[in-house]
Amino acid sequence: MSDQVKFLLSEKDIPGHWVNLLPDLPGDPVPPLHPGTKEPVGPDDLAGLFPMTLIEQEVSAEPEVEIPEPVRDAYGLWRPTPLYRARRLEKALGTPAHIYYKYEGTSPAGSHKPNTAVAQAYENARAGIRKLATETGAGQWGSALAFACSLFGLECEVFMVGSSYDQKPYRRSMMETWGATAHRSPSDLTDAGRAQAEHTTGSLGIAISEAVEVAAKNPDTNYSLGSVLNHVMLHQTVIGQEAILQMELAGERPDVVIGCVGGGSNFAGLTFPFVRQVLRGDAQMRFVAAEPAACPTLTRGVYRYDFGDTVGMTPLLPMYTLGHDFVPPPVHAGGLRYHGDAPMVCGLVRAGVVEARAYRQNETFAAAVEFARHEGIIPGPEPAHAIRAVFEEAEAARQADQPRVILFGLSGHGHFDLSAYDAYLAGTLEDPEFSEEDMAAALARLPEAPALS
Ligand SMILES: Cc1ncc(COP(=O)(O)O)c(C=O)c1O
């Protein structure tokens, strides 16, 4: 069928392994550092927060890691996810480009986040842990982990960034439906939350500090992170592996692969299997990471060691950062309001393999609305950033009158983000300014650590 729009796989095509890009990354490995000794962290340093099997995945040098059968079984609830060709959008944009998108919004929680949530809940349950504590921005990660904990019999406690807690009350209802408890962050339940009470909108960094504190103080509780760490990138690579098969079904290869970046996990999940082909010399492709202009980590941050959280409880991670206590303005793409990014994604930006671009809130919603009017799906505010970048690529192809195959990650739907769409449609959506002054002040407070090359 020449005008096919959906490229579908069957359950037997759910990948049997995850792709570990660590051994293929260019340059020497840059390890996370212990915040006290400034020495590389060892497995024991992380054992209070994570089960050993996840720590092993975090540092694994194996190019492929087998997916445990119970996790693959759980993936069967929604995977493989569909790949679409955006034929109607192509026509509306008058572009010769072919635009494809891999849609992760068909998962129970509505995004890519359950891909790692089920893997993490499974390993923690197997290790005899009773409860997982975590943070959530827009509520996507919190609801994914709540869902995953319900599958594997774990309790789940979620610290939700204050601005999102107020904007997205039904995300809390979802978490509670799956049996989790959700708190507005900063809360008065932790030392970290009490210390940050003046930042009433909250931030991912503050919420992480609260969840890490709960896990560190309770032996039967572990911490679970929805992005940034290597094992999270690893779990998400089911997305790109399926996309490779689906692009083969479509008979095309992408020229450019685009994703939004908050902590980097959906971007890594879609791109890393393709990046590996490029790093091994088997393909040529560009990769574009899209982020908010209000929180421009990859485009404006410095490449340094910094804490993953605001209070300074985590190891020092090598990454682009705006400073661990920089509190980004409250844009609706709550999942992109993070001061740092995954070290693996940052390393690829540093090496010039991945290009980063930043977009303002109104231009991303304009792209999302146009997308919805032609393709039907209402995108989450986070992947709306990727769509903005797709529009640029499609326009460049039109101006050059060149065919171009664009693949992007539609990491989730926006059904719980309709207040943001309301504001956009009413013309009241703001483009909050990123504060140079606040960033400079936060960068002045970066921890002492060896310089990165
Ligand atoms: C739908 C969606 N996309 C993207 C992100 C950003 O996170 P990451 O960069 O880890 O994919 C989030 C975070 O909550 C999200 O909910």
Q: In sequence order, which residues have a C-beta less than 8 Å from that of residue 302 and are 6 or more positions away? A: 320, 321, 443, 446
Q: With 80 as the cut, is the pLDDT of residue 1 above it?
A: no
pLDDT at 2: 67
Token pair in block for residue 133: 């504590």
- What is this structure's pTM? 0.97
Residue among 112, 145, 339 to mutate when testing ligand 1 (max atoms within 8 A of CB): 112
- Reported as a single tens digit per residue, the pLDDT across 365-412 is 999 999 999 999 999 999 999 999 999 999 999 999 999 999 999 999
The CA distance from 180 to 117, in Å, is 14
Q: Residues near ligand 1 with C-beta < 6 Å?
A: 111, 137-138, 140-141, 227, 260-267, 335-336, 380, 382-383, 411-412
Q: Which residues pair with 133 in a beta bridge?
A: 157, 223
Q: In sequence order, which residues have a C-beta less than 8 Å from that of residue 338 and are 6 or more positions away? A: 137, 204, 205, 227, 228, 262, 263, 295, 297, 328
pLDDT at 332: 82
Q: With 90 as the cut, is the pLDDT of residue 204 above it?
A: no
Residue among 116, 140, 230 to mutate when testing ligand 1 (max atoms within 8 A of CB): 140
- Reported as a single tens digit per residue, the pLDDT across 320-346 is 999 999 988 888 887 888 899 999 999
Q: What is the mean pLDDT of residues 11-23?
A: 98
The CA distance from 388 to 366, in Å, is 8
Torsion on CA atoms 178, 180, 181, 184, rounded to nearest 10: -80
User: Using omega within 30 degrees of 0 as the cis cutoff, is the peptide bond preceding 23 cis?
Assistant: no
Residue nearest to atom 1 of ligand 1 (CA): 412
Q: With 90 as the cut, is the pLDDT of residue 205 above it?
A: no
CA of 331 to the centre of ligand 1 (A): 14
CA of 387 to the centre of ligand 1 (A): 14
> What type of residue sits at position 144?
A
Q: What is the mean pLDDT of residues 64-81?
A: 98
Residue 364 near residue 387 (C-beta atoms within 8 A) = yes
- Reported as a single tens digit per residue, the pLDDT across 249-278 is 999 999 999 999 999 999 999 999 999 999
